[in-house]
Structure 1
Amino acid sequence: MAPETILERLLRLHPKAIDLSLGRMQRMLDALGNPERALPPVIHVAGTNGKGSTCAYLRAVLEAAGHRVHAYTSPHLVRFNERIVLAGREIDDPAFAAILEECEARNGGVPITLFEITTAAALLAFSRTPADALVLEVGLGGRFDATNVVERPIATAIAPVSIDHQQYLGDTLEQIAFEKAGILKPGVPGIVGIQDPRALAVIEARAAAVGAPLVRWGQEFSARSEGERLVFEMDGVRETLPRPALPGAHQLGNAALALAVARSVAGVLGNGAVDRARGLERAVWPARLQRLARGPLLGRLRSDWSLWLDGGHNEDAGRVIAEHVAGWRRAAPGAPVHLVLGMLNTKDPRGYLRHFAGLVDSVATVTIPGEQASLSAEDLAAAAGDAGVPAATAASVAEAVSRAGADPRAGGRVLVAGSLYLAGKVLADHG
């Protein structure tokens, strides 16, 4: 049976897509014989923005050092299988279907969310496949996330915390940081990326309460750009490394967090400066300021134009993406930039878009195809106007790209952004 058919069945086991709790997860794992206790060394990663990129860098560094690495990430872009990487390879359909059916049978029809039962399936697969490490990304929050069942990871990491998912995690930065800090464990080093001081204070208080030693950006480690190199410092040792493979100034912080984690776990998972350099150069993480190299949308643009894709969807993501667009503007003042935007109705389009005011030549809003939770193109255009960024609706991404491509100026860029779900739709058509 195809995994998609089983996933559709599993989706009906619980009336809510998200219902943060560890009780159902622990019951499921008990029924499976507790696979979470038979995993290779685990590195658990939380955060609002950048946790996926951090996982990508960390996996690349460990693989460059010769380690076999499991990885668990979410959401997927095109296929659900993307979430489960077994010793460096995405789980195939037969194996995925078999493990889903096993979990379905063990669950016995009891209510459980799709994320919980698929996380249990992933942990079961990880426990049965030999590997040297598991890079485990939190799905949502941390304290009650389904991944927070590993009692003794070798390290935890917290990427930048910002406002997102308020309906589940709280309305303030401090409340959200408390949920993220829920992955900290007694005696386990917690590596903390760039943080707002308010978030850092909460993380530090939680670390003190549970007895987790911290390795913090700006204190125990730091990084900076010097020309085309990244200079990383930790424990009094300086390394000069290649610039991170993923574009955007914000990736320096994500790469540095991964480097600090790699250095912190080197006693268990050996890695050296050469491995860390190779990992920075080899990391791949789609839909994060990704330049598309092929596909039908490119046929709607002249050869001197480029098409970019990004899935960031909250205010802080809008800020860092707008900073990158501003860099485009400085590098090529006469080249136009057009934004194609789609967002879910759980996001804050005004907060995201306000950073683009006066920065782009046009904004075209679209309804994300096939997504019930999508903002309509009309509502998104109205929100853009409220944010000081005039926008016009388009019936599809293709129409929006064609409209942008009619600009007669040379060297233009089109950025499709605002949602990982929209990015997934685009990537499905672009290989």
Structure 2
Amino acid sequence: MIPPFSGFLESKPLYYKEIDHERVHRAYARLRDHIAHPPAVHIVGTNGKGSTGRMLAFLAWQNGMEDGKWKMENGLSQSESTNHFYPLPTTHYPLSVGHYSSPHILRFNERIWIDGENVSDEVLEEGHRRLYGILGAEMSEALSYFEYTTLLALLLFERCDLIILEAGLGGEFDATNVVENKRLTVVTPIGIDHQAFLGDSIEAIAETKLRSITPHTQVLLAPQAYAEVESVARRIANERGCGLTMEDGRWKMEELERALQNKAWPEFLHENASVALRALEFLGISGDVEALKDLELFGRFYPIAENVRIDVGHNPLAARAIARAMEPETVLIYNSLDDKDYREVLSILRPKLKRVEILPIESQRAATLREIEEALAVLEIPWDCFSGQLFSHERYLVFGSFYTVEAFLKSQDLGYNQKS
């Protein structure tokens, strides 16, 4: 008997100290002949993966080539794309595009986006039943949360013309790296994070992430904070016979600034948009900058009220980008997981802070109140516990993790609790 998707997923832990990296490949080998394999863009990095991927997916969906030329050139003729379940049309406008991202803020559905919409509960349940049936109970139960949901996304994307896959915390051993038919790897800014899994140095972390690159494909390197990342990228691209392009984040920037002047996006989102547009050029898909006016990047320095912004960033690299965008005298509503460098994060944000209000979060990896309090005391930042009240005369930023943003939204009557 196949268990319901929601209960099945909740039974899997979100965090693993050790994992069998070959397991997802064994499962994919069982799945691969049951699904189509659209061209894929793989996005790896530390920061900016979600926003860059969503911009890329949104623009490709909005601006696909009307005459089907891109599809034919990329091997998507009907005869080649027909699989056991669905045939793909030979012409289609706009392109059908899927985007897989993680983690989610409020609902799992946020992780799988197809043609402008998060997937419905009904589609998830149907896809889960098919996937569980293909893999069998033993393998389905053995896969990790991220492994199983990655394969579920690939199954649900089978009718797409293009898929955008965001790697999880890794690269070379990430579940998303099972995908076939990669056409481009986009490398967003790499910084120090998840050291227990990836290594204690920028070089080690970059090595792990960049070894996800498929030989003889194209690689687009977004602007990097560390020169070591560029060195590692050049070496691995050369070893694997890949074309490597360094993007400076200024591609079509004048057009972006003109088109997005009313959106009040910070500089780092403009840079991510520039990278997304450059990626589209590599794919041979036109990118209309004006279309970004209609894109909402929930959780990315996102204004949920006139004086309240939320951001799911959680590491020093993200904090530096946020600090450049913040207004002075901001009240920071904050919490952190215990494996994050919250002392460095708070130190970076300190010049823009009026005070910190600590919001409790539910996670086995949450830092203790005492640890954060000690960091705030050393930095001489005033703090209190979050009372749940917001005042119109204050300016707020909710930051620290997806868990922090989720807890905040659920504590407030802001209309986001049922966000699909």
> Does the alignment reach a TM-score above 0.5?
yes
Q: Distance in 2 between matches of 1:133 and 1:155?
A: 11
Query: Following superposition of structure 1 onto structure 2, how do residues 55-94 of structure 1 map, counting pairs within 5 Å?
Result: 55-65=53-63, 66-94=94-122
Provide the residue aligned with 2:83 in structure 1.
none
Return closer, same or farther for 1:34/1:162 CA change in 2, 3 Å cut-off.
farther
Cα deviation 1:224-275 (Å, max 9, x = unaligned)? 855xx547xxxxxxxx754595721111221111111011101xxx31xxx4
Provide the residue aligned with 1:121 in structure 2.
152
Cα deviation 1:161-185 (Å, max 9, x = unaligned)? 0100111110100111111212222
Q: Distance in 1 between matches of 2:279 and 2:359?
A: 39
Residue 6, structure 1, aligned to residue 18, structure 2: no
Name which of 143, 159, 179 aligns with 2:208: 179
Provide the residue aligned with 1:372 in structure 2.
364
Query: Following superposition of structure 1 onto structure 2, how do residues 209-248 of structure 1 map, counting pairs within 5 Å?
Result: 209-218=239-248, 222-223=250-251, 229-230=255-256, 242=260, 245=263, 247-248=265-266
Provide the residue aligned with 1:393 in structure 2.
384
Query: Following superposition of structure 1 onto structure 2, how do residues 308-327 of structure 1 map, counting pairs within 5 Å?
Result: 308-325=309-326
Provide the residue aligned with 1:205 in structure 2.
235
Return closer, same or farther for 1:181/1:346 CA change in 2, 3 Å cut-off.
same
Listed as ranges, the gaps of 5+ residues in structure 2 are 64-93
Q: Distance in 1 between matches of 2:253 and 2:114?
A: 34
SS in 2 for 1:45: strand
Return closer, same or farther for 1:285/1:21 CA change in 2, 3 Å cut-off.
farther
Name which of 138, 149, 160 aligns with 1:109: 138
Residue 277, structure 1, aligned to residue 270, structure 2: no
Return closer, same or farther for 1:225/1:58 CA change in 2, 3 Å cut-off.
closer
Q: Distance in 2 between matches of 1:63 and 1:116?
A: 26
Residue 416, structure 1, aligned to residue 416, structure 2: no
Provide the residue aligned with 2:375 in structure 1.
383
Provide the residue aligned with 2:337 in structure 1.
344
Provide the residue aligned with 1:333 in structure 2.
none
Cα deviation 1:87-133 (Å, max 9, x = unaligned)? 43322212212332443452432432111111111111212xx2221
Q: How far is 1:379 from its partner? A: 2.1
Q: What amino acid is aligned across from residue 246 of structure 2 in structure 1?
A: R
Q: Distance in 1 between matches of 2:339 and 2:6?
A: 25
Q: How far is 1:74 from its partner? A: 0.3
Listed as ranges, the gaps of 5+ residues in structure 1 are 232-239, 294-304, 330-335
Residue 149, structure 1, aligned to residue 149, structure 2: no
CA contact (8 A) 1:152 1:185 kept: no
Q: Distance in 1 between matches of 2:210 and 2:103?
A: 21
CA contact (8 A) 1:343 1:375 kept: yes
CA contact (8 A) 2:37 2:181 kept: no
Name which of 347, 351, 373 aligns with 1:354: 347
Q: Distance in 2 between matches of 1:343 and 1:245?
A: 28
Return closer, same or farther for 1:64/1:133 CA change in 2, 3 Å cut-off.
same
Q: Distance in 1 between matches of 2:297 and 2:314?
A: 16
Q: What amino acid is aligned across from residue 320 of structure 2 in structure 1?
A: R
Cα deviation 1:374-406 (Å, max 9, x = unaligned)? 1233321212223x1424231xx4x1544xx3x
Q: How far is 1:19 from its partner? A: 4.2
CA contact (8 A) 1:2 1:93 kept: no
SS in 2 for 1:147: helix
**TM-score normalised by structure 1 residue count:** 0.81
Return closer, same or farther for 1:286/1:151 CA change in 2, 3 Å cut-off.
same
Return closer, same or farther for 1:389/1:278 CA change in 2, 3 Å cut-off.
farther
CA contact (8 A) 1:242 1:280 kept: yes
Q: Distance in 2 between matches of 1:158 and 1:320?
A: 17
CA contact (8 A) 2:336 2:367 kept: yes
Q: What amino acid is aligned across from residue 154 of structure 2 in structure 1?
A: L
Cα deviation 1:210-232 (Å, max 9, x = unaligned)? 011011124xx744855xx547x
Q: How far is 1:412 from its partner? A: 2.9
Return closer, same or farther for 1:55/1:421 CA change in 2, 3 Å cut-off.
same
Provide the residue aligned with 1:42 in structure 2.
40
Provide the residue aligned with 2:276 in structure 1.
258
Q: Distance in 1 between matches of 2:382 and 2:128?
A: 43
Return closer, same or farther for 1:381/1:189 CA change in 2, 3 Å cut-off.
same
Q: Distance in 2 between matches of 1:142 and 1:35?
A: 25
Provide the residue aligned with 2:80 in structure 1.
none
Q: What amino acid is aligned across from residue 101 of structure 2 in structure 1?
A: T
CA contact (8 A) 1:6 1:100 kept: no
Aligned residue pair count? 377
Q: What amino acid is aligned across from residue 151 of structure 1 in structure 2?
A: E
Q: Distance in 2 between matches of 1:254 and 1:364?
A: 30
Q: What amino acid is aligned across from residue 356 of structure 1 in structure 2?
A: L
Root mean square deviation of aligned Cα: 2.4
Return closer, same or farther for 1:20/1:261 CA change in 2, 3 Å cut-off.
farther
Provide the residue aligned with 1:163 in structure 2.
192
Q: How far is 1:352 from its partner? A: 0.6
Percent identity at matched positions?
Answer: 28
Q: Distance in 1 between matches of 2:160 and 2:356?
A: 46
